Structure 1
C-alpha cells in the first residue's frame, strides 16, 4: 500500500519508480482523485460550519421575533442537512476508489534492484558448492521417486492433477526435512516457532498482498475464508493493527505448514513430479523490524535459508531479482536456486524478500520509537527456509545412486532414525 502523501510530495519520483517495473505513470490520476476527495471533505466541513452558524442565527432571529428571517435560515439549514450526507457519501466513495487504486499498485523497487523485463534480467550474486559428477546416467526425481514411495498415480486418483501421495521411506525423509529446517531456524537464528491457522480472513490476505490482485491463485472455502498459499499470510498478520514498542523488535517467526496454491496460469509448466503442486509443505520465515534494521535483516534471513542448503551439502546460487521478476509486495528479493542434476539446471527453492512498510500500511502495523510520540510503520520481511517438496527433489536427485537408492544427508539422519540410505522397493 502506498502513502498518498509521499506521492503528493514527489509525483515524478513515484512514476519513475513505477517505470522501472515497466508500469505506466499514474501519479496524476491518483492526485486528481486525492484532490477530489480533499475538496469534498473541505466542502462537508464548510457546510457543517455553515449549518452550526445558521442554527445560532435562527435562535437570534426567533428571539428578535423576526419570523421571516428565521424561516429563510431554517430553509437553508434544511438544504444543508440534505446536502451533508451526499457529501459524506461522495467522500467515502472517492476515498474507497483511491484506496483501491493504491492497493493495486505494486511496491516500488529498491534503488539497488537491477532493471530487467523477466528472469533473464536477474543477477547472480554468489554461488556455493560444486555440482556432483556421476559415473552413471542421472535421473530426475519423478523417475527415481516412485520406487521410494512417491506415489504420483494415487495422488492424482485421490485429488486430481498436481497432487502427490508420499509413503514409506520418502515420506519419512520429507518429514525429517521439515523438522530439520525448523530446528535450525529456531535454534541457530532465534526464530520463534509458530503453529498458525491454515485458513484466514479477507483482511489477512489483503494485508500481505494476496488480495485483491491474486485471488485466482488462492483456494477459497465455502464460508469465505482462504487457504494460505504461504505461512507468510498468517505470520506477518500477527502484528496487524498493533502499535509495538521499539524494544519488542525485531520479531522473528517461523512455521512449518501445508500451503495451497491454485497454480492459475501455470498450465503446462512442471506438470511432472513435485516441483509445482497444489498442496505442499514449506518452512516460512517472517521478520518484523524497525525501518533502519530491515536491510541487515534481509541479509540475515537469506543467510538462514542458505545455511539449510549448506548443511545439506546442496549446491546453490543466490540471484538478485530484477524489477520485472519481483513479486507484488517486494522491495527487493533474493532467490536461492538449488542445483538439480536430473534437470542439469538450477531451480528456485527459496525467495527472501524485504517489503519495507508496504505490507505494514495494509495491516496498519506500527511501532513507537523510543522518545517519539507518533508511531511509525514497521518493516516486514519474509522468506522460505525452505520449500520442503523442492528440497526433497534436490536431495533425491543430488544423492541418487546407480541402483536407485538415495543416500540420506548426514544432517538429516538424526531425524530419520539414523537411516543412511533410502532403498527402492524391489
Structure 2
C-alpha cells in the first residue's frame, strides 16, 4: 500500500470495494510520526536523566531538568497512546481487507462471469426421468431427514445402511488416493480451534457469523483447511522441507447464515458435513504449479468415480476472501439438471502466511520469507455421495456402486431398498 497506493486501490476495486489507501496511509503516517517523535523524546529524556544525576553529585540545582523530564514523560505517554491507537486502527482495517487477486483472474462481479476451462464427460440422463438424491434416498429408506430434524433441526441428515457405508467408503477412497498416490500426509486435527487459528486462515473477524462458537470461546472448524494450514503458524521451515502436503477427512460445521431459503431440501447445504481437505505449504516460486497439481488431484477423484465435471476459473467478484486465485470443480447432477460445486482449490499466496507468520529459511541459511499456502477440497464427501446417487441411479430406484468403491463396500455392486 505504501509502495503503490493507486495499484492497491485498483486491486480492491476489482473485488467491488472502495478505495482504502489514502485513509489508511494517513493513519499510518500519523502513527509513524508519533513513533519518530517518541524516539527523539526518549533520547532527550535519557540526556536529562544523565544531567540530573551528574548535577546532584555536584550539588547543583537540578529542578529545571527534572521539570522538563516530567513534562516529557507526559508528552511521551500521549504519543505512545496515539501510536497504539493508530496501530490498532490499522490492524482492524487490514483484518477485513481481502487478498490481492492474481492478474489472470477474470473481471466480473459474480458467478456469471466465471470461466469454464474444460469439461470432463458429457451431461447425460442415467434413466428416462432422473430423480434428485433426496427422492432416491427416501425411497430406499436409507436417507432420513425427519429423524435428523427431530435430533438437531433443519439442514441435517441421517444416513442408514448401504448409503451410510457408501459415504464412509467415499471418504476412505479419497484419503487412500491422496496419501498413496498424490503424496499427501494424512493428519487427524482437532475440530475445535482458538481465535488465532481462525484469524490465521481468514475466517475471523469477517466471517464470524458463518461459524459455530462454543461456550468456552472455541470455534468448530468450517473446513480442515483451518487447522492444517495453521500447523505452520509461527514456524520457520527449511526451504528443503517444502512443499508440505497434508490431507484430512473431518466433519465440517457451517452456520449457513447467508443461505436462507437456498437448497433447503436434501443434503446439498448442511450445518454438518464431511470433507477431505488438501493443504500445501509451498515455496513462493512453486505455488502456481502446486495449484495446478492440487486441482488435478481433486479431478482424479471425480474422474475415477465416473462423474461428469468441469473446471471453472472464478472471476474477481466470486473469488474468496483469502484466495488470490481459485478453481472450482463443478459436478453434473442429473436429478437437478445442474452443475454444482464439489471442490474449490485456491492459491492464497502469502496472504494467510502473513496473518499467521509462517515463514521459511532459504538455502543460504540467512534469508527469511513467507511461505505460500494452498487449500482445496479433495473432495466434499456429502456432495460426492449426492453425485454418485444421481449419476448411478437405475430404473426402479436402485443405485449402482462405482467400481472404485466396491472394495470399500464389501463387494456390493448395487444398493436397493432393504426388504425389512
**TM-score interval w.r.t. the shorter chain?**
over 0.9
Following TM superposition, by how much is the alpha carbon of 1:62 offset from its aligned partner in structure 2, in angstroms?
Answer: 3.1
Aligned residues: 418
Which stretches in structure 1 are left out of the alignment for 5+ residues?
A: 1-6
Are 1:148 and 1:170, in contact at CA under 8 Å, matched by a contact in 2? no
CA distance in 2 between partners of 1:417 and 1:93 (Å): 63
Following TM superposition, by how much is the alpha carbon of 1:45 offset from its aligned partner in structure 2, in angstroms?
Answer: 1.0
Secondary structure, aligned partner of 1:301? helix
Secondary structure, aligned partner of 2:202? coil
**Paired residue for 2:105, among 79, 99, 113?**
113
2:377 is aligned to 384
1:296 is aligned to 289
Following TM superposition, by how much is the alpha carbon of 1:205 offset from its aligned partner in structure 2, in angstroms?
Answer: 0.2
Secondary structure, aligned partner of 2:181? helix
1:26 is aligned to 20
CA distance in 2 between partners of 1:85 and 1:422 (Å): 73
1:6-155 correspondence runs (5 A): 7-67=1-61, 70-146=62-138, 147-155=140-148
Once the two structures are superposed, what CA deviation does each residue of 1:80-103 show, in whole Å capped at 9, x if it has no partner?
223333322322221111011111
RMSD: 1.1
CA distance in 1 between partners of 2:98 and 2:264 (Å): 29
Are 1:148 and 1:422, in contact at CA under 8 Å, matched by a contact in 2? no
CA distance in 2 between partners of 1:206 and 1:59 (Å): 49
- 1:195 correspondence with 2:188: yes
Are 2:222 and 2:253, in contact at CA under 8 Å, matched by a contact in 1? yes
Are 1:148 and 1:423, in contact at CA under 8 Å, matched by a contact in 2? no
CA distance in 1 between partners of 2:318 and 2:409 (Å): 38
Secondary structure, aligned partner of 1:360? helix
CA distance in 1 between partners of 2:331 and 2:132 (Å): 14
CA distance in 1 between partners of 2:74 and 2:95 (Å): 32
1:3 is aligned to none
2:220 is aligned to 227
- Which 4+ residue blocks in structure 1 deviate beyond 6 angstroms? none
Secondary structure, aligned partner of 1:9? coil
- 1:183 correspondence with 2:168: no
Once the two structures are superposed, what CA deviation does each residue of 1:201-230 show, in whole Å capped at 9, x if it has no partner?
000000000000000000000000000000
Are 1:118 and 1:325, in contact at CA under 8 Å, matched by a contact in 2? yes
Q: TM-score, normalised by structure 2?
A: 0.98
1:268-347 correspondence runs (5 A): 268-347=261-340
Which stretches in structure 2 are left out of the alignment for 5+ residues?
A: none
2:150 is aligned to 157
1:358 is aligned to 351
